[in-house]
Structure 1
Amino acid sequence: MPQDLAIALTLLEGDKYRAILPTDYIAHLRNHRPNNVEAAYMTNNKIVLWVKQSILHYDGIESRAQVLKFFVNTAMACRKFRNFSSVTAIANALHSAPIDRLRLTRKELSPQLKQALDDLDDLLDPSSNHRTYRAALREFSELDQRDACVPWIAVHLRELYTNLQKYPTVVQVDGTPLINFERYIRFTDRIKEVLHYTPPNLEGFRQHGQLAYLENQLRNIQPKSNTDDALMERSLTLEAGEARDYRTRKRELTRLGFKT
């Protein structure tokens, strides 16, 4: 069920987020590896790849559409948990070129799910400093949920980097170069903003099997240098099949009971 997968994703990505320390952000920005930010990124990237591969696995439009529906519903459930890390991972996968070009597969979605898919795209919109995402961060039904979420780390990392670029390392005072403490105070403030969130409390589900299932699914997901090319090649093959079905009206004839 989408709800179960959303629980597993929130536990997994919540654990990764909770492990990040201020020093990890500094290490990541300086390309010092390994660090816990990198570990969180790797997990998130695996989720993106897993979603893509899961949809592209099936030859039949109906089967692909069922998987697509499942992940749209999962993203919606993750959003209710305020797990923006997984929401945006699924959104990135569903709006990636290999999935986006499968028009007949997407056509199988109900109007409500099509709208949900569009909403996911809006959440990824970087305009106005990711206005839609930041508005979602401020949405909560109960006051005690305000700081309960798994944030979209990439956006906040970009803000940290921008902050460092905005303020020079040193300032000139009466012709003497001095350390620009404002730079590091501002940077520290931004880190505190990122770290003050707490993942939703789903500990009661940790031993119920959802997390173990997800970890098992992701265990063999290993992004490689040619992964994107392989996904696109598979997508092009499926797209050609969809084009043939459209030209011959195969699916319409099958639904009417004709053998094709």
Structure 2
Amino acid sequence: MVWLIFLAATSDIGYDIIAKWTLKKQKLSAGYYNALLFCVLAIFSGIVWYFFASPNNPSNHEILSFKNLGLFALMIALSSVWNFLNTKALKHENIDNYEMIYMVAPLFTVLFSIIFIASERNLNHFIAAMIVSLTLILTHIRKRHFSFSRYDLWLIGAVVLIALEAVIIKILLGVWSLFSLYFYRTLIEAIIFLLIAKPHFKTVTKKQWQGILAVGLLGTIYKISQYVGYDQIGVTLTTMILVTSPFMVLVLDKFLLKEKLHLKYIVGMIVIALTITWALR
């Protein structure tokens, strides 16, 4: 199970970089980006659902209860808003500022999951998650990160909504199968963003499509692996493992690009590795 979450962390490495390239270098608008991306995500997740669906799907009676329909609608609303804010921020902000703000997401996710989900209230996991999150932030923060632009504030809002959505997803996974939940989430959001952007598909260039397809593939791997983690080992542990992706980038930089790996990053990696090992024991 744990290896699957590390797969998600690995896929996250390329996701933001390719998304930034598609939005900035290929000059794809945020509206077109979201509309096209969610169409691709719906197609990819539908294929995964077809091949990996469990025969023991929950009953329609459970899914269609007033409570679960309300939670599903809230999940769609939160996800639509944070994806809009996130895409705008990613398009206009430098990638290092973007990543730095995004690193506070685990703190909010862990705090909200402990507040709203009884099964997540494990003291050891909470302590470990706080250590991992703070280590991640402290090893990456710089003085310039304390100056916030409008898009920085939008991204902070997106981070809070992402954390709230994680809580709702965990609750809904008690009723939905993870594949069907992600498929319907992406399908409905694709419809929403298509209605908003009204994209003309013929105007989308080949390179823009290549970027969207790559982001869609990586996004599907990331989100389904994340859903599996939420369902099987909980939100807190999954979040801890997912935050290893920034350090994976540093390791790749060291071996592929021969860039210097600073001592604080090495210490941070050791602290996070030991903390996750302790939490998973």
Same fold (TM over 0.5): no
Which structure: greater helix fraction? 2
Structure ranking higher on relative contact order (CA contacts 8 Å, 6+ apart): 2
Question: TM-score category by the smaller chain?
Answer: 0.3 to 0.5
Larger Rg: 1
